[in-house]
A and B are shown apart, each in its own frame.
Chain A
Amino acid sequence: MPERIVVPFGPQHPVLPEPIHLDLVLEDETVVDVIPSIGYVHRGLEQLVTKREYTDFVHVAERICGICSFMHGLAYVQGIETIMDVEVPDRARYLRTIWSECSRLHSHLLWLGLFADAMGFESLFMQSWRLRESVLDVLEDTSGGRVIQGTCKVGGVRRDIGREKLDDILRTLVPFEQQCRNLGDVFLNDESVKNRLQGLGIVTKGEAYDLGAAGPTLRGSGVPIDARNLGYAAYGDLDFKPVTESAGDCYARCAVRVGELFTSIDLIRQAAETIPEGPIEVKVTGTPDGEYFSRVEQPRGEVVHYIRGNGTKHLTRARIRTPTLANLPPLVKMLPGCQLADVPVIVLSIDPCISCTER
């Protein structure tokens, strides 16, 4: 009978890029149980809603996370606009879509690099992040910020992208897509990577659905649910299908993210080519009175912003359900039975974002 020991994994761990905290119960080097803890980097951002006016809180929402910042801002302003019955112009919706997909690209490329690093492939890490630089350059040239775009506001967007710049983006996409294919080929077809990922951290389709997984973790198990199908922003006008895999292991989740790179490139292309002319914002008067659940698909999964106002300049409640919070139960399901050396790979395969989760 091997002795059981408890090993704290995180919040400060040399392999993990996020301060996730899991207490692992081990027998020899096999994980038999996992106890997650949340709260290490709690900042109380939801509470700020009672101290900041609803027009200012979008800046707080965008700083919930540095990697999926645009989508948080978008989810928040969509909620306010729905409560206040504000009709956003078409051009603004398309611009939001373009920035959303650029954010998804840079987030997935960042994740691919960190994932490679967790497997010990530092060169692959560098290749991914070098590729990401061109996406960050596009974001900087169109919004003024590489990471915090700051373009969403209640009633529209604060900045336009001219036709010349859109054509420039379309031209940039051609070599970028080829480079993504080369990179994806390494992640999907290299024997070393496949040996490390296949059959690891399996969550079946039924389990993923029952446990409430979100995003690539859910789609990697074969469930084709994606909040973009709700048709928010301009997604209702564009041709979009979720990327799914069926194996439910680390390799499948990686394959979904690689596939989503190309989906994002296609969506940017569609939006940049068909964006309508017109204004980019409408004037907003009054204050929100009512409540709404705003759902947006982040790179990691579906984020829900619950917003409640009572007619004053300050909201009474904001509640944010981040995709990582939804992916913790599947993670606890994945880990028992694996070797200790595989824990970083499995943890990273759900793409945890702890600053979002513990907000």
Chain B
Amino acid sequence: MGFFTMAKTVLQNLFGRPPTRRYPAVPARVGPITRGHVTIDPARCISCGLCMRRCPSQAIRVERAEKVWEIDRFRCIACDACVEACPAKCLIMESGYIAPVTEKEVERHPITYVKPERPQKKEAAEG
């Protein structure tokens, strides 16, 4: 016979603090490895296009001629595949989610990487 099985819980709720969070006044809980959104460090991007090839939802485009890296946030599934594939480690998976937007736009980032000069070859040894 169980008639007051939830009484203990109800009393705890009555005198305890609310378990909910007053978002957005209080930020949402994010863990250190939460997959929120991808960002790029354009100074290190070498325009290899591996992230574009590896992206399972075709959200990323790399224009080598124009030196532009584009991402369509609405296609991105935050799966980490581009971050793992990037040989230059210029892509970072941030913990926070992007803010809500009212218009769908593709994000464009000009690539500012400058290829370092090759060191001068040693002059041929005299002789």
Contacts and interface: CB of A to CB of B under 8 A. Distances in A.
Interface of A: 52, 56, 59-60, 63, 123-124, 127, 130, 133, 137, 140-145, 148, 150, 158-159, 182, 185-186, 189-191
A296 B33 CA distance: 27
B6 A186 contact: yes
Given A124-B6, A127-B9, A182-B9, A144 B31 contact: yes
Interface stretch (B39-47, B67-75, B76-84, B108-116): B76-84
A193 B2 CA distance: 10
Interface of B is mostly: loop
B8 A150 contact: no
A59 B79 contact: yes
A148 B34 CA distance: 11
A185 B2 contact: yes
Contacts of A63: 77
A182 B34 contact: no
A158 B85 CA distance: 12
Nearest to A56: B56
A144 B31 CA distance: 7
Contact of B6 (A123, A133, A158): A123
B35 interface: yes
What 5 A-B pairs are tightest by C-beta distance, nearest first? A189-B2, A144-B35, A56-B56, A141-B31, A59-B56
Contacts of B34: 140, 144-145
A158 B3 CA distance: 48
Interface string B9-29: 110000000010000000001
